[in-house]
Amino acid sequence: MTDTKAWPFGTDADENDRLTALRIPVTGQHPMWRYIATFDRESEARPTDAEAAQLASYIEQYKDYFFNDWYKAKLLERPLDVDAVTRIFHKWGEDDWSYRVVTWEYGPFWVPAAPRLRGGQYDDSKLGPLPLVQVMDRDHQMHSEYPSKSWAAWKASHPEIFPAEEA
């Protein structure tokens, strides 16, 4: 007997993308569902295998930090994790990533800004290009100058995904 469950996300998330198997939704810049984090299908480049592992781990860390075991099991009933303020990650090129939060209404669309806007009058951050892990660090430091302790501990406990940065 075959599983006849329909893909619950319609055209919002790509059902057959290789990232979907890692529970990483591949969506547009304005997803309709409240995923934890997504990869922007309009990106100029695709994640490497290492970057895909980092995206999947980012989602896992969010669940580990915010949800109890019962709720994490409930999330597994769907092929993608839905219940968050979505972060969308966009890849411009090698080691050149940005992100945005769907609730942002003011300020730059992407942080760091898109390459064509960097250094211009609409680029307040003067950042970029940044590798994915540094963009994730920025997301985890929204209210201080340092990434959160829980994020730092998560990365340290997963050296196979987040190798220690060389000084």
Region 51-70: mean pLDDT is 96
Q: What percent of the chain has pLDDT over 70?
A: 88
The residue among 71, 48, 60, 64 whose CA lies nearest residue 24 is: 60
Phi, then psi, of 107 in degrees rounded to 5:
90, -165
Region 80-102: mean pLDDT is 95
pLDDT in tens, 62-82: 999 999 999 999 999 999 999
Amino acid at position 32, single letter: M
pLDDT for 83 beyond 70: yes
pLDDT for 35 beyond 60: yes
Distance linking the first and last C-alpha atoms of the chain: 55
Describe the strand order of the beta sheet including 37-40 as a list of residue ranges. Answer: 26-27, 37-40, 87-93, 96-101
Would you call 90 helix, strand, or coil by DSSP? strand
Instruction: Assign 103 a pLDDT band (cuts: 50, 70, 90).
Output: very high
pLDDT in tens, 113-160: 888 877 776 666 667 789 999 999 988 876 555 568 899 999 999 999
Q: What does the pLDDT read at residue 167?
A: 38
Please tell me which residue, 120 or 32, carries the higher pLDDT value.
32
Q: What does the pLDDT read at residue 2?
A: 45
Q: What is the pTM of this model?
A: 0.89
Q: What does the pLDDT read at residue 106?
A: 84
Which CA distances in Å does 146 have to 1, 45, 127, 136, 142? 52, 28, 16, 12, 9
In the chain, where are the structural domains located? 20-156
